[in-house]
Amino acid sequence: MYGHVYTEEEHAFMREFVPGHSYREIATAFTEKFGWEISISQVNAYIGNHHLNTGRTGRFQKGQVPPNKGKKGVYAAGCEKTWFPKGHIPKNHRPVGSERVNKDGYVEVKVAEPNKWKLKHRIVWEKVNGPVPKGYIIIFRDNDKTNTDINNLLMIKRGIHAVMNHTGLCEYSGEFKDTAVMIAELKATTSKAKKGGSHGKS
């Protein structure tokens, strides 16, 4: 899909299909309809570039006017007492189960009121494998932060992840990701052994 010029039919499809569907659903439907294999990250980029709204990311649709536009700091004295009466639900309220993409590119899921969110890939991992132990993190085999399929997730030590970032091993993906992790573990073990040997010298 890199360098692909979208046709008007493809644009129309995106405008109509995107609302209410996940990135994975959009990618699958687009590929089946047009024969172009579009990745989840490309779907994310398209949605952002064309100001579309899946209903899960919290973005406004193109042309949609925020309810507070032009009203910042403008109100009648005393009306603040009735802004949020008991039981009132704000227009921008997101129900539990809603999804959004945070500033770092990770998918988050609202897990509790009033505004508690949790990383979706951790939820998926813990549902299958239990809590992530202290000192460990979850990474993505294909390096796509929005692909939270359990088969795309891998748990490694935080220190090993630091070695991968430092050596460039984090750039490997797919079937090579597991090999990259093993190489990083070997480097960490070798480095630790060298430090231990140098401490033992008189």
Q: What is the mean pLDDT of the chain?
A: 82
Local confidence band at 41 (pLDDT 50, 70, 90 cut-offs): confident
User: In 3-state terms, what secondary structure has residue 191?
Assistant: helix
For the chain, domain boundaries: 1-61
- What stretches of the chain adopt beta strand conformation (E)? 99-101, 107-112, 116-119, 136-140, 153-157
For residue 154, pLDDT over 50 is answered with yes
How high is the pLDDT of residue 123?
A: 95
For residue 114, is the peptide bond before it cis, meaning its omega torsion is within 30 degrees of 0? yes
**Residue 97 φ then ψ, to 5°:** 100, -10
Element (H, E) at 19: none
For strands 107-112 and 99-101, give the pairing: antiparallel
The structure's pTM equals 0.52
How high is the pLDDT of residue 200?
A: 54
Q: What does the pLDDT average to over 41-67? A: 70
Task: List, for residues 58-110, the tens digit of each pLDDT value.
Answer: 444 455 555 556 655 555 555 555 555 566 666 778 899 999 999 999 999 99
For tokens 């052994």, name the residue. 193
